[in-house]
Structure 1
Amino acid sequence: MMPTTSSRRAAVSSTPTTAPATPAAKRDRTHYLYIAVIIAVVLGIAVGLVAPDFAVELKPIGTGFVNLIKMMISPIIFCTIVLGIGSVRKAAKVGAVGGIALGYFLVMSLVALAIGLVVGNVLHPGTGLELTDAIKQTGHAQVSAEALPPVDFVLSIIPTSFVSAFTEGQVLQTLLIALLTGFALQAMGSAGQPVLRGIEHVQRLVFRILAMVMWAAPLGAFGAIAAVTGSAGVDALKSLAVLMLGFYVTCFLFVFIVLGAMLRIVSGVNIFLLLKYLAREFLLILSTSSSESALPRLIAKMEHLGVSKPVVGITVPTGYSFNLDGTMIYMTMASLYIADALGTPMSVGEQIPLLLFLLVASKGAAGVSGAGLATLAGGLQSHKPALVDGVGLIVGIDRFMSEARALTNFAGNAVATVLVGTWTKEIDRARVDQVLAGRLPFDETTLLDDAEGAPAAHVPEQGGEKELAKA
């Protein structure tokens, strides 16, 4: 249901005209933080080009920062989902959100594959390349032993223990535990309210820690960009410029035309305003080549935007494994590129079964380090082994292509959250307009709406049929 009049008044009352001045000052300091990230990216590229050997040695700096962010993902997902489900009286609503989200993810994955298929068949960027034995060996080395077939992947969602879901860093395992905990607290009724209040405080603590970790972003961005630039170099970019350019243009058109049209038609939201609202997250992804680095902030920002906690808590974490639009486009174009480079171009009748197989295989490799390249190599090994030799051709520029992959995946999940919120009527449209217009700024210091000292979520009132979590 749409938010009540009282909730809208609460949202309006939190506008900058009545809010204290202190949060605004803190947001100004974080503004300088992201200016520092931009400077660090430029310096990293310069170091990578001038001293490539030294730059490659800086990779652990970027890896360390991304690992710090990943450390926070499981507790944030757990708290968000538990509070979201705990604030809803009817369990059927949560099931409806999950069903709509998964259905949307499947449809958009097929759309992304189709777009990549069309562009790949038009460009034919791999024609005329030569394949050496070294490149063949490099391609086979990318086949990840971690990638699981679909059945084993489903079983891997079940953790070995309640605690291992948090220690092993598996997002879907954390999602399962959080869903079970949320439904259990929902069934407990008033007896579960003290636990919900405790989790609210834990969430506030976790987001505060994340805000502290973000101050290391310039250092992490410098190390990550320097290592990527130093390892690939300019020569690799020149030889594969057509593939990269085609991939970037395809991702751009997918986001601004396909996703933008969906967002405008279904929710009435301007895609440019939404992406501007998420500008800092895009900068973070661009500098670290990892969409996971922005996952906790996407959860916080979507709740601040006006989407209810159940929708955010289910759609965002699930989308990070199942809504990989950029990865779908990448696998399509890379497969066609490799087939052309090997002198064995595939007919459309061969392309479609391979790409549908890769669609399924990508779910089995969710969470694997370097999932894009590992998924491609593993899928080709299982369905068309002769093409694995050519995977080595794109290893040199895979990290640069992963930038567009990660940015597209992130944009797809942000749009999906707004769309699912609209379809389930779990979004405050008045608040969305205020936030995107800049009248309700996001609190960068806490990543939560706690300017008035209120908890991030509330315990549902007795007697209500449906409750929305506090935005």
Structure 2
Amino acid sequence: MDTPSHPLPPADRAQTRLYYWVLAAIVLGGLFGHFDAAHAVALKPVGDGFIGLIKMLIAPVVFCTVVLGIAGASDMKKAGRVGFKALVYFEVVSTLALALGVIVANVLRPGQGFNVDPASLDTQAVAGFAKQAGQQTVAEFFLHIIPKTFTDAFTGSGDLLQVLLVSVLFGLALHKMGEAGRLVHRFVEECAHLFFAMMNVVMKLAPIGAGAAMAFTIGKYGIDALKPLAALMGCFYLTCALFVVLVLGGIGKLIGFNIFKLLRYLKEELLLVLGTSSSETALVPLMNKLERLGCSRSVVGLVVPSGYSFNLDGTNIYLTLSALFIAQALNVDLSLSQQLTLLLVAMLTSKGASGVTGAGFITLAATLAVVPAVPVAALSLILGIDRFMSEARALTNLIGNAVATIVVSQSERELNQAQLRAELEGGVRG
């Protein structure tokens, strides 16, 4: 079993206290947003600032972990095998998520009965999202993965796919250098310690960031914003729950762990994501927890960062379910071939979607564009509740990446089953 390349924070009382502080902040933030919406909305910069601090460190953290995972591998065939297994797993499970969204939308038909007149749609409200979604063709999407310069991957658009590409190439080159690259390897390793330490410092602000973000969400949109579209909200949360329990739970049972115990073990990370609506805020804590569960360092370093771009199960459910909801609300009866086309396009557009709030909405606009019968302007129907659905998207994405890492570790025979059981049982008792 590999030893961690970065310090793992102990599961002590300080971590437990942070969990309760975040929980209290979310509750208080929600109440503040409900009773004093005007001042709650003014807290948006506080929540955005916290997420900004996290995003500032995501690229260097991903770079260091991927480089160390590849360069530190004794066998390059193993690194390639881990990457291949992860991508195959991502594609299979992501497709299941997309298909589940289609099935639930066709069975429950949450948009039926809305009878929306296309002429009444607010085209200005979604013009910006539609413009961003239409900026890239398929070829441009793949070319965009290549940064203009090495440093542009970190200082440009902040695209995680660009960071992954640079990290993989750097790690491969460093591995080929052998002993000659030992000094650079040690430098990257020390940088990893530094960036993880910085992240641990930023995480102390989690209660403030999560509370402010929740206050803004409730203050801006209000509880009343949920009522008109409660059917879609209910279907989406139900579908995410079914996916986690049935699909991910079934996978967990095959591997040898209980999905509910895993959720209990990851409660701090899940609560942080719930408050901020961003799975990126929990990237580093998730990696720490997975290593503590018995997953090898090399697998965690490769699977988790790539999963944040290629394994977005919650986003996939959102894409197909929301697209079909909009079609139903407009009384547009999509044929089987149109629904299959929607599903296939979503398999592409979902790749590289960021865990930050709003990216899923842009991706939905790109997906909806392939069905001319459904105007992109119809996105305005769900604009008001998109923020509320982003929590479920981010939570499902996080859980999916945790399960993926455990699965790949097990397939590589680098999962300490005894440690996994002990940690999960301890998490339940805790």
Structures share a fold, TM > 0.5?
Answer: yes
Q: Which amino acid aligns with 1:190?
A: E
Q: Would the aligned equivalents of 2:261 and 2:424 in 1 still touch at CA under 8 Å? A: yes
Following superposition, the deviation at residue 385 of structure 1 comes to: 5.9
Following superposition, the deviation at residue 278 of structure 1 comes to: 1.2
SS of equivalent to 2:136? coil
CA displacement, residues 66-116 of structure 1 (integer Å, 9 cap, x when unaligned):
111111111111111222222212211111111111111111121111111
Following superposition, the deviation at residue 31 of structure 1 comes to: 1.9
1:224 and 2:213 are equivalent in the alignment? yes
Q: Which amino acid aligns with 1:176?
A: L
Distance in 1, Cα, partners of 2:138 & 2:93: 20
Q: TM-score, normalised by structure 2?
A: 0.91
Distance in 2, Cα, partners of 1:407 & 1:152: 30
Following superposition, the deviation at residue 58 of structure 1 comes to: 1.3
Aligned to 2:56: 71
Following superposition, the deviation at residue 246 of structure 1 comes to: 1.2
1:238 and 2:223 are equivalent in the alignment? no
Following superposition, the deviation at residue 144 of structure 1 comes to: 4.2
Aligned to 2:301: 313
**Equivalence map 1:285-304=2 (5 Å):** 285-304=273-292
The 4+ residue runs of structure 1 with deviation greater than 4 A are 364-369
Q: Would the aligned equivalents of 1:53 and 1:230 in 2 still touch at CA under 8 Å? A: yes
Aligned to 1:388: 376
Distance in 2, Cα, partners of 1:357 & 1:199: 38
Aligned to 2:24: 39
Q: Would the aligned equivalents of 2:62 and 2:164 in 1 still touch at CA under 8 Å? A: yes
Q: Which amino acid aligns with 1:138?
A: A
Following superposition, the deviation at residue 367 of structure 1 comes to: 6.9
Q: Would the aligned equivalents of 1:139 and 1:393 in 2 still touch at CA under 8 Å? A: no
Aligned to 1:162: 150
Distance in 2, Cα, partners of 1:308 & 1:137: 49
Following superposition, the deviation at residue 157 of structure 1 comes to: 1.7
Distance in 1, Cα, partners of 2:106 & 2:34: 33
Aligned residue pairs, count: 421
SS of equivalent to 1:152? helix
Q: Which amino acid aligns with 2:184?
A: V
Q: Would the aligned equivalents of 1:62 and 1:219 in 2 still touch at CA under 8 Å? A: yes
Q: Would the aligned equivalents of 1:112 and 1:326 in 2 still touch at CA under 8 Å? A: yes
1:211 and 2:200 are equivalent in the alignment? yes
Residue among 56, 62, 66 paired with 1:81: 66
Distance in 1, Cα, partners of 2:355 & 2:426: 34
Residue among 121, 134, 140 paired with 1:152: 140
Percent of paired sites with the same residue: 48
Aligned to 1:248: 237
SS of equivalent to 1:344? coil
1:98 and 2:83 are equivalent in the alignment? yes
Q: Which amino acid aligns with 2:166?
A: I
Distance in 1, Cα, partners of 2:183 & 2:283: 28
- Give the direction of change, closer, same or farther, for the CA distance of 1:438–1:148 in structure 2 (3 Å limit): farther
CA displacement, residues 387-430 of structure 1 (integer Å, 9 cap, x when unaligned):
31321111111111111111011111110111111112232223
Q: Would the aligned equivalents of 1:69 and 1:213 in 2 still touch at CA under 8 Å? A: yes
Q: Would the aligned equivalents of 2:71 and 2:171 in 1 still touch at CA under 8 Å? A: yes
Which deviates the most, 349-358 or 280-289?
349-358
Q: Would the aligned equivalents of 2:240 and 2:314 in 1 still touch at CA under 8 Å? A: yes
1:176 and 2:161 are equivalent in the alignment? no
Q: Which amino acid aligns with 2:61?
A: I
Following superposition, the deviation at residue 118 of structure 1 comes to: 1.3
Residue among 310, 317, 321 paired with 1:329: 317
Q: Would the aligned equivalents of 1:150 and 1:364 in 2 still touch at CA under 8 Å? A: no
Q: Would the aligned equivalents of 1:377 and 1:391 in 2 still touch at CA under 8 Å? A: yes
1:199 and 2:184 are equivalent in the alignment? no
1:56 and 2:41 are equivalent in the alignment? yes
SS of equivalent to 2:250? helix
Following superposition, the deviation at residue 134 of structure 1 comes to: 5.0
- Give the direction of change, closer, same or farther, for the CA distance of 1:350–1:162 in structure 2 (3 Å limit): closer
Could you say which structure has the larger radius of gyration? 1
Which deviates the most, 146-155 or 111-120?
146-155
Q: Would the aligned equivalents of 2:105 and 2:325 in 1 still touch at CA under 8 Å? A: yes
1:135 and 2:87 are equivalent in the alignment? no
Q: Which amino acid aligns with 2:99?
A: A
Following superposition, the deviation at residue 291 of structure 1 comes to: 0.7
Structure 2: 5+ residue runs without aligned partners?
Answer: none
Q: Would the aligned equivalents of 1:342 and 1:387 in 2 still touch at CA under 8 Å? A: no
